[in-house]
Structure 1
Amino acid sequence: MNVVERQVRRLDHVQRRHPALAFPWAVAQKFGNDRAGAHATRIAYQGLFSLFPLLLLLTTILGFLLEGNPSLQQDLLASALADFPILGTQLQASAQPLRGNGLALAIGIGGTLYGALGVGEAAQAAMNSIWNIPYVEWPNFFLRRLRALAAVLLGGVAVLGSGAITLGAGRVASGWDRPLAYAGGALLALGAFLVAFRLLTATALRWRDVALGAALATAFWQGLQLLGSWYVTRTLSDASDTYGFFAIVIALLSWMYLGAQLTLLAVEINVVHAHHLWPRSITQPPLTDGDRATFSRLARMEQRRPEYLVSVAVTPEADVDPLLDEAAAEAEAGKGDGDGDGDGDERAGPDGDEGSSPPPRGRDADAVPAGGSRRDG
């Protein structure tokens, strides 16, 4: 074991003993194990293509509900799209309601809504993967789309409700409109995340299983809206010279990707907390209980048919800790050297010649547990 590995293993022992270090490392490890970054990419990609159909649907619904008050329609739409920093004005300018007779309009709304289901399905796949739900338990084609539809409608209600809160706060409490809007929007987002985290997961979760992640996701999104203007402005300035008009699309996609990453990070925190999947090792082996539980969940997730069962076995090498083994070997060697200094006369042969001393025991059955491994105490 070289010097670098020895120091890393010592650091590993420290972080495993301190929850303040072990929990964040376990979340980061599981984020990579679940390929959450790839899921965030898919959510952002599908969200980009779902955004404009949903925008058409939103303007159409507002047109029906507020038919006699076009100014209120525009104010409410502007407040709702304010959640998209800087880009909200461009989105509002491109928002036009669907028009036509009853049948044509119904077909248009249905087609638009179906086209927006992609983001719901992507979010559903991410949630089931992060919770390591076996594929055999994932919803079928129809249930999957029903859940996606419910999630999309929930998101639309949350966005529209946030716009209504912002607009109402500005009219009712002048001077306090911004704090009230943030507080009301945060409460609405918290409720939406609590429901969505349970709705999109193909297993029965308790409210307390998702409460921590929902609170963190709410904080992440509120912070993202506060810092979003700076982030989008920077992205636009970097991309405008090269990509021109498409810089707006790139900035929007980047913002949605960052939001998806933060949301999935909150979900990972939920899973690690709910199933106590920490501490995790930096260098493996040894495998901690958190490592074993995580890898077992990942293995069992691969079950795709009820006729096939997945079992997990762990080899004795999973308990081997080279740092402890090295320390034990050095201790045994030092003990052997000490014995050799003290009883050299007793080992002399019958003719007065010094006999050969027995080698140190090293890693025999007494020094190492059965199976050739040593468990970290």
Structure 2
Amino acid sequence: MDTFACDSVFFADVRGSMVDLVQAVGRALRTTPDSGKVATIVVPVLLAAGESGENLLTSKAYDGLAKVLLALRAHDEAAVERLALPQSETRPEREPRHSGELEEVRSAGGEERLLSFSSERDPAVIAAFVRTRVLEPEREEFRRGLEELTAYRKAFGDVKVPYAYRAPSGHRLGVWVADQRRYKAAAILDDKRIAELDALGMVWSAFDTAFTDNLVAVAGYAAELAPRDADGIVQPLVTIVTDNGGPFRSFRIEAFIATRPELRHIRTRVRTPGQNGSRERGFGSLKYEKLFLEEIPDALDLVRHAEDYRRDDNTVRPHEALAWNRPHDVHTGAADPLVPNFPEPENLPIA
């Protein structure tokens, strides 16, 4: 359920990622202007046999509550941090409630209480719980991750941390970095932390970075081998063909290509899935007609097989879509893709 009318969330189980918890809490908090809605978030605390409900600071039964408060902090940081300040929570006297009537829990000051228990708790203990089991561990974990990321940058020169990487201390830095990306994507990472990570050169999109790295490598290869015309002007050597996805229409990519004359960028036409389909069929032909026919022992042999197929496909095999011309002849202008290049009409045998 994800509607404005939803005014409560019951956490039967508080397992799951922090992003999931934040979104679940947000479902109760969603409101419309002047609605006056008061959201209720219920977190059961299941005590072990012989365990007292007063052990907020040590009992594992309160782990779920700590996680939900941390998720709530993503929506209202100031409200949760106010819980870490001891306050008097003495309730004013009130008239007995009728059966079935919801109790409106308020503090001595009259404002609605953010956190209430089924039985009274010492406000000082509640403040210590929020401080030691919600705020300080989370801050300490971020500080530790930041320190490990700084050390990684010093050792490797960047912060492109592989997901499986563990720091020498045992800290799962790769997982921590991935978590920061997810928190930012879900808009639950505060601006101060984003700024601290940006100062280290944080890579927010591993995919974009990998694409850029590969593009730079291709440009370096092309720059070394690109031909020049009679006036010494560099001619395109590598043509990069992409679809019309957002990353390939970005100013950054176009600016990169524009400063490298050895590269040419061609995008497929908008709303022409057939162009992408023809490329996918090409990869299928490569696999089933060449690569899957025999065992390929290593990457170098794979490159040789792919190059053999590329050469045959471009210079030997006639293509029906090119009026039975060869792609190399059409690309170099030696053949017209609309005019068959047969010396005379020929009827191929049916069987």
Q: Could you say whether these structures have the same fold, taking a TM-score greater than 0.5 normalized by the shorter chain as the test?
A: no
Find the structure with the greater CA-based Rg.
2
The answer to which structure has the higher strand fraction is 2
TM range (shorter): under 0.3
Higher relative CO (Cα under 8 Å, sequence separation at least 6) belongs to: 1
Q: Normalising by structure 2, what TM-score?
A: 0.23
The answer to which structure has the higher helix fraction is 1
